[in-house]
Amino acid sequence: MNELTVKGKQNFMGLNIPVVLGGFGEDKKCLSDKTIAEIHGMNAFDVRRRISDNINRFKENIDLIDLKQRMHQAQTLEILLSLGYAKQSITQADHIYILSERGYAKLIKIMDSDLAWEIHDKLIDEYFMLREEKKEAKAHAERLASVNNAVKILTPMLEKAGCSSQIQLLTAKSLYEKAGVLIPIEIQADKQYWDTVHIARRVGIYYKTSGKPADKAVNEIIRRIGISEADYTETWESKGNWQGTVRKYSDEVIDRIACWLADNDYPDKIQYEQSDGQKKHYHVVCRREAA
């Protein structure tokens, strides 16, 4: 059994009820039969009787724990006193139940009244669900810490790659947003830039065999037409296990590539030179309507 702990009190329907954690899992909330009786305006004995009369429906350590059967364990008496039980009532009781969220839902089915279900819904929303909010807050903090660390590592790498401060900001903003952290600022680049796959689609040039955008052929055309540093930028990207800088080009470069294709009568092959000096060709199909 996970150790039960009482973490203060929470106001619920005008009552200050103890917040009980553990018993059924780390940080999982649970309820004592005394608290359930107070919330539903019942006697604790009647709550216990309903549970005991239907005990075959409840699973030990999953739906409920009978603390009276664990009085020999250290801290049990201290926990019961912190939950508001009097020593005399502890001594006289045959059973003292702690119910998990699932166990409490089973008890409500046994009660089966409109008021019981109404209180059940409120308790789930206002008491048990706070556990999920706590978990989400913890997960959010962990994601934020992870992104902060990634940005800290990436910033000098982007600077070394020659990326502008604006690109660095865009990269950081993208990383934070992927982690669910919205940056309340708008960062707009002076120009839009595109990778060679996007450009190949825009101008309508595809590899003849595979039918995929002819990105390497686009690179060869760019080499031939010549461009200035103002026509491209370096951006940081991450895809699966790969990450690194990608060169992207402006709309003006796309227009010039389209003009080159038209001036060269939309060739079906584009020659390029390998690193060893051998001449090879990219076999392509040009879709003129795209240009």
Contact 84, 18 (CB under 8 A): yes
Last residue of a domain, one of 89, 112, 135: 112
For residue 90, the domain's CATH number is 3.10.260
pLDDT, tens digit, for every residue of 193-241? Answer: 899 999 999 999 999 999 999 999 999 999 999 988 888 888 766 666 6
* Residue 175: pLDDT over 70: yes
Residue with tokens 């008491």: 127
Last residue of a domain, one of 43, 77, 112: 112
- CA–CA gap between residue 155 and residue 148 (Å, rounded): 11
* Residue 49: pLDDT over 90: yes
Largest CA distance in the chain: 99
* Residue 189: pLDDT over 70: no
- Residue 87 in any domain: the answer is yes
Buried b (16+ CB within 10 A) or exposed e, 56-78: eebeeeebbbbbbebeeeeebee
Residue with tokens 């800088």: 245
Q: Between residues 154 and 267, which one has the greater pLDDT? A: 267
pLDDT, tens digit, for every residue of 135-161? Answer: 666 666 777 777 788 778 877 877 777
Q: Between residues 261 and 112, which one has the greater pLDDT? A: 261
Contact 71, 80 (CB under 8 A): no
- Residue 257 in any domain: the answer is yes
Segments forming the whole domain that contains residue 280: 189-290
- Residue 141 in any domain: the answer is no
Q: Between residues 175 and 9, which one has the greater pLDDT? A: 9
From the list 144, 249, 255, the residue with the least C-alpha distance to 203 is: 255
Question: What string of H, E and C letters represents the secondary structure of the chain?
Answer: CCCCEEEEEEEECCEEEEEEECCCCCCCEEEEHHHHHHHCCCCHHHHHHHHHHCHHHCCECCCEEEHHHHCCCCCHHHHHHHCCCCHHHHHHCCCCEEEEHHHHHHHHHHHCCHHHHHHHHHHHHHHHHHHHHHHHHHHHHHHHHHHHHHHHHHHHHHHHCCCCHHHHHHHHHHHHHHCCCCCCCCCCCCCCEECHHHHHHHHCEEECCCCCECHHHHHHHHHHHCCCHHHEEEEEEEECCEEEEEEEEEHHHHHHHHHHHHHCCCCCEEEEECCCCCEEEEEEEECHHHC
- Residue 201 in any domain: the answer is yes
Lowest mean pLDDT among 46-60, 123-137, 251-265: 123-137
Residues in the chain: 291
Say whether both 199 and 105 belong to one domain: no
Total domains in the chain come to: 2
- Residue 124 in any domain: the answer is no
- CA–CA gap between residue 273 and residue 287 (Å, rounded): 25
Please give the pLDDT value at position 177: 72
Please give the pLDDT value at position 143: 74
